[in-house]
Structure 1
């Protein structure tokens, strides 16, 4: 398993079969088990039709991590939706003593929404509306399969279409609400993809619950505090110290909890205001000064603009500055009372989203009121 010039050497436990199926190109980042690599499918590989893939390592140092990794693989292996990351293959490490798995995912050539928000703040309304449609369609599909994502936030949503060839497009198309931006969206330039299913969980419905969206069950509560539904945060148990992550909690959690996270995500990408902040106070305070760039901020601006020309003003909006349908959708998804909250499958029919028939679809019917088609792999429920 040697390495050609310019190609990164394989990790110590890199599977031989992975080298036979894919050609390593470069390192994309660091994962829990090692590097995340960009790779190219070899002509003889019949497992995948995608030319480029991302291969990441998943740590399995404990029994809990092992169950989590198997669950992520089991869930993703049965999902098929254009706005959900695809699992293409999985390999055992080369060494029998290694603790992990290598997972081959579809490669998304673009930044995550968290990076875009940090770079320039609130996205343009045409792009934000498209992202809302893609995200709601993806999560409605998950719920139709009985899957709860449990960690929906901007960092876990990638955006394709930010490049023309090898060059980044004008940032105006992403942060502007002009006719040019609207045209780019209408022409299908962009696509949002929901990623990171490490915390996802499949649930089993009773027969009479198959068409419901408010099923709750007791399970480990995970995710990020300010994107989590209030009933999750308020009912957590066995948490030693409060912090932004909710990775060691137990709570009553269900499909309707994901709806709150979708609303919180949409609120941030449309207003630029992080969840947990008072929107009016935050906008008034931060509009007065030009924010300083962080290293992550300046790097992304350098990529997008072909050279860092900031610091840029961060684009911010209050809810009062948004069209009423937008604020109605966000407030309905973020309703504190879960029994009154708009479900994600219901949100497909909201006037700002356009109805089920106007959205991207997966391999099962995810329209409002439809029955759940549960996953078959028992590992998805562990």
Structure 2
């Protein structure tokens, strides 16, 4: 992993910063904004013998209300039992600093790269070889979640991190992620890139009984959360007020299931490969917004060290310009009818993904038909 050095003075501690966190990690800099203020880059202090990573991301989660406290406890409980190479790893979590604390802090594995939403905003649709890698990693991650009885409920490009794009806050190569050439394929074969599914603030764990129902494509009424443009049709169409006896943490509920995650994966892959934000007709959007891309470098221009300079136009693709296996996978995942929609675990064996045995595995079997291994922490089911 790249060492994210910084010469700037460390940021001041956030409100309710736990004393144990101060003993364990040196605050380096702010990585971004979270639900409860800042996400900080931390460095393990010499006396911290239990930490396994030198650099970490420390995320604050608001617990101002009872529901927020329950949501934070659920996120920590879920992540504490997940072990998969394409799922963000929770390394530690701190109890509230006091009875009047406003937040809890979670120590996450540090990812040396941006989220895919950043990449799409920067230059649009990613290179076709990189899209396939992301598709394999994302489907692998979500299939594992479903094998643990967990539905993510907020899958979108902003919640998928891509390792290998940045080093010391700088882009390693300004072309590689968007260019369909041998250099990108070579970097992928060397294992430079890895997609990591993150942000489990809306995740929900199912009991074994609930999981068996969802295996039969039966949805559960859960708190209505997530991002509308990436939500499945059955979820959007069935939002309603919760009944008095329902234990949802929001006033509205809707129908959720593993097929809802499958649809969100399809929408996410569609945006990554076309560059078209969800909610837009792809053909209309591309025809209205596509501009000529820079000409590829010739051997002479490479020899002279010259290449087109930004700002680059946003890369867009029509669905008809995609490899057939890619477009078939997306349309299968985005099937309007959840009873015939391709499940994520089935998608592992799709031609575009390559089969379960070609993927990295977590701590449980997650192939099609494998038995659910529910989480043990009762807080995961709140």
TM-score, normalised on structure 1? Answer: 0.88
1:160 is aligned, of 134, 158, 163, to 163
Partner of 2:301: none
Instruction: Provide the C-alpha distance between the structure 1 equivalents of 2:367 and 2:155, rounded to a whole number of angstroms.
Output: 20
Partner of 2:318: 318
1:141 is aligned, of 139, 144, 167, to 144
- Contact 2:223/2:253 (8 A) holds in 1: yes
- Contact 2:16/2:102 (8 A) holds in 1: no
Partner of 2:100: 97
| Deviates further, 370-379 or 217-226 | 217-226
| Aligned 1:170-209 pairs, distance under 5 A | 170-206=173-209, 209=212
- Contact 2:19/2:97 (8 A) holds in 1: yes
Partner of 1:262: 265
1:80 is aligned, of 74, 78, 83, to 83
Instruction: Provide the C-alpha distance between the structure 2 equivalents of 1:141 and 1:364, rounded to a whole number of angstroms.
Output: 8
> 1:263: how far off?
0.4
| Aligned 1:1-382 pairs, distance under 5 A | 6-163=9-166, 167-206=170-209, 209=212, 212=215, 214-238=217-241, 249-288=252-291, 310-382=310-382
Over 3 Å counting, the alpha-carbon distance change for 1:282 and 1:197 in structure 2 is same
Q: Deviations over 1:98-149 (max 9, x none)?
A: 1221111111111110010011110001100000000000000000000000
> 1:211: how far off?
9.0
> 1:166: how far off?
6.2
Over 3 Å counting, the alpha-carbon distance change for 1:208 and 1:143 in structure 2 is closer
Unmatched tracts of structure 1, length 5 or more: 240-246, 291-307
Partner of 1:303: none
Over 3 Å counting, the alpha-carbon distance change for 1:220 and 1:43 in structure 2 is same
Q: The residue matched to 1:276 in structure 2 has which SS?
A: coil
Instruction: Provide the C-alpha distance between the structure 1 equivalents of 2:381 and 2:214, rounded to a whole number of angstroms.
Output: 19
Over 3 Å counting, the alpha-carbon distance change for 1:115 and 1:164 in structure 2 is closer
Q: Deviations over 1:161-214 (max 9, x none)?
A: 013566422122100111111111111000111010000000113299289262
> RMSD in angstroms over aligned alpha carbons?
2.1
Q: Deviations over 1:289-329 (max 9, x none)?
A: 89xxxxxxxxxxxxxxxxx9543211111110111101100
Unmatched tracts of structure 2, length 5 or more: 1-6, 243-249, 294-307
Partner of 1:244: none
> 1:12: how far off?
3.7
Aligned length: 355
Instruction: Provide the C-alpha distance between the structure 1 equivalents of 2:130 and 2:182, rounded to a whole number of angstroms.
Output: 12
Instruction: Provide the C-alpha distance between the structure 2 equivalents of 1:66 and 1:154, rounded to a whole number of angstroms.
Output: 26
- Contact 1:81/1:362 (8 A) holds in 2: yes
- Contact 1:211/1:369 (8 A) holds in 2: no
Over 3 Å counting, the alpha-carbon distance change for 1:208 and 1:142 in structure 2 is closer
